[in-house]
Amino acid sequence: MITCIRRCALSVLALAAVASPVAAAMAQDRPAPISESEVRSHIAVLASDEFEGRAPGTAGETRTLDYLAKTWASYGLVSGTNDTTRPWFQPVPLVERKPYGQAVSAVARGKALALKEDGVVLAGRNPTDRVTGEPVFVGFGVKADGTLNADVQGRVVLMLSAEPKFAGAAKLPNLRDRQKMLADAGAAAVLITAPEGASWGALRAQLANGSMRLASDDKGAKIGGVLRGDVTQALMRAARLSPDDAIASAQDAAFAPIILPVTLDLATSALVRAFASHNVIGKLPGARPGSGAVIVLGHWDHFGICRSEEAEDRICNGAVDNASGMAVLLTVAERLARSAGAGAPLDRDVYFMGTTAEERGLLGAYHFADNPVVPLDQILVALNIDTVAIAPKGAPVALVGRGENGLDEIVDQVAIAAGRTVDSDTEANAFIRRQDGWALAAKGVKSIMAGGSFSDMALLQAFLTTVYHQPDDELTDATPLGGAADDANLHVDLVRHFADEAKYNPAPTGD
Ligand SMILES: [Zn+2]
């Protein structure tokens, strides 16, 4: 179908060239808008059961990478890795861990303490791990200056998961950073209290799913764990502490950590797998090398086979999240490559990247930011595309990243010129850290996610609270693709603008 659309359109162009050079030039500039059916045809492939939900490191990854690279190449894109030894695919070394078993026992004053084991979830770093010792309750783990409040070398640490707020203190490290600090300081096991308000069942299921990390960032204590509230209380009572008093005293920046005279014995087993997944990167070379680059990115990965054998539907197909975004990357590349092939190349190189392991913490995007294929200061704009098949045709354009990088006015003007209305509030910024563009923005790249999906929060929430990350995120006749086609056309215009030296020529950063 794609080949047909392309051939038919090309033959129309050829006829126009014979008929009138002016009409031909116009046709080159303005090919037919990207249609819903073009977007649908790519989603149908990427979200099909044959692609097995596109989990990193599976057969689904191989099929996905192959489809993306071959389709881009068929349009005339070249490899964008800028590495002739590794065309198209940038390896992203990952470590995946799945917990398999755990054992927990406790002894207080010579007597075994009955801890409810279903209230403890442990995850070990190695195939087997064991840590024994008296836990030190560190409160939030930090002093008012943000440094650790205890010597934790070799210890079992028990820490509150809530964010510390000491009177008069500056911003203190968040939970993840505090866990890292404890591991870096040599803690053998880091146990945290279950976050307030979190469903214990959901938390357990999430932890049982395992974790994935970049091999380059694979640090941590031997054992990590979460304790349900009643287990934390039982430990404190066994140490003759009032749980309420101990937790209240930790709210004070002068809190002194307390060693609980209870011997904990923690053991874990896990399946640990190191493997390389890949970002796939294509390039539409510009006419003016050295004039900077534009990157359009979206994540290709999803959760794969996400239900156990007895489930009726085992595959999380990720049709909206994010086969729809990849479909937009494909159609946008096709339109731009077609214009370039017809003699109207853009000034700047345009990169198209499908990232891996976004669902596991933006890992592919972080890897790219650490190992960019062009220096990051040459990437003038990053346009991320995620979860586009939500809004109907004509939805206003919202911006994740509004007010963050001076691009608002340009995007608004391009959107209005394309016949869209603009949603100028900053509601969409609630998602700024939850999307791949964040990994680049964190390193100073001007990064935005523009589109209709983030303009109607009620519509977005309706998706997030139902089929999102479930086997039901499938392509159906009812999948709204009007907004996705709109957003695809918008991105053709945005890339044309940002890749044009005359239209967009920002002063180099640092000036
Ligand atoms: Zn997702």
Only one residue has tokens 């994740």, namely: 400
Alpha carbon of 403 to ligand 1 centroid (Å): 24
CATH number for the domain formed by residue range(s) 35-95+274-498: 3.40.630.10
What pLDDT is recorded for position 335?
Answer: 97
Q: Token pair of 240, please?
A: 């003759």
What was the pLDDT predicted at 4?
A: 35
For the chain, the maximum distance between any two Cα atoms, rounded to a whole number of angstroms, is: 96
Using pLDDT thresholds of 50, 70 and 90, give the confidence band for residue 308: confident
Give residue 61 CA to ligand 1 midpoint distance, Å: 16
Across the range 354-362, mean pLDDT stands at: 97
Confidence of residue 206 (pLDDT cuts 50, 70, 90): confident
Is 445:376 a contact under the CB 8 Å cutoff? yes
501 burial level (CB within 10 Å; 0-12, 13-18, 19+): middle
pLDDT at position 26 over 80: no
Q: How far apart are the CA of 372 and the centre of ligand 1, in A?
A: 23
CA–CA separation, 155 and 221 (whole Å): 10
* Rg for the chain, CA atoms, rounded: 26
SS (H, E, C) 387-415: CCCCCCCCCCEEEECCCCCCCHHHHHHHH
Q: pLDDT at residue 268 above 70?
A: yes
| Percent of the chain whose pLDDT exceeds 90 | 86
Rounded to the nearest angstrom, the distance between the alpha carbon of 181 and the centre of ligand 1 is 28
Of the listed ranges 14-28, 58-72, 283-297, 419-433, the one predicted with least confidence: 14-28
Domain chopping of the chain, boundaries: 1-32, 35-95+274-498, 110-260
Using the structure block, give the residue that is written with the tokens 């007010």.
Answer: 403
Cα separation, 166 vs 221, in Å, equals: 26
Q: Per mean pLDDT, which range of 124-128, 166-170, 341-345, 404-408 is the poorest?
A: 166-170
Cα dihedral value 356, 361, 362, 366, nearest 10: -100
Taking the centre of ligand 1 as the mean of its atom positions, its distance from the CA of residue 393, in whole angstroms, is 23
Poorest-pLDDT segment among 5-9, 67-71, 205-209, 494-498:
5-9
Secondary structure class of 483 (helix, strand, coil): helix
Share of the chain above pLDDT 70, in %: 93
Evaluate whether 405 touches 448 at the Cβ level (below 8 Å).
yes
Q: Residue 23 Cα, ligand 1 centroid: separation in angstroms?
A: 43
- pLDDT tens, residue by residue, 395-414: 999 999 999 999 999 999 99
* CA 299 to ligand 1 center in whole angstroms: 9
DSSP assigned state of 277: E
CATH level 3 topology of 110-260: Glucose Oxidase; domain 1 (3.50.30)
The mean per-residue pLDDT over the stretch 291-301 comes to 98
Tally of CB atoms within 10 A around 242: 12
Q: Are 140 and 172 a contacting pair, CB within 8 Å?
A: yes
Of the candidate ranges 28-42, 227-241, 388-402, the one whose mean pLDDT is the lowest: 28-42
d(CA 389, CA 480): 6
- Quote the pLDDT of residue 31: 75
Distance 359 CA to ligand 1 centre (A): 5
Confidence of residue 1 (pLDDT cuts 50, 70, 90): very low
Asked whether residue 28 carries a pLDDT value surpassing 70, the answer given is no
* Mean pLDDT, rounded, for 19-41: 70
CA of 4 to the centre of ligand 1 (A): 32
Outline where DSSP puts E strands in 327-465: 349-355, 379-384, 398-400, 447-451
- The whole-angstrom separation of Cα 388 and Cα 400 is 13
Q: How far is the CA of 364 from the centre of ligand 1 (A)?
A: 14
Asked whether 110 and 210 are in contact (CB, 8 A), the reply is no
Taking the centre of ligand 1 as the mean of its atom positions, its distance from the CA of residue 132, in whole angstroms, is: 37
Report CA(41)–ligand 1 centroid distance (Å): 21
Give residue 8's pLDDT. 36
245 C-alpha vs ligand 1 centroid, how far in Å?
A: 40
Distance of CA 112 from the midpoint of ligand 1 (Å): 44
> What separation in Å is there between the alpha carbon of 324 and the centre of ligand 1?
12
CA of 264 to the centre of ligand 1 (A): 37
SS3 call for 382: strand
Q: Is the pLDDT of residue 208 over 90?
A: no
Report pLDDT for 29: 55
Burial per residue of 72-95, b for 16 or more beta-carbon CB atoms within 10 angstroms, e otherwise: beebbbebbbbeeeeebbbebebb
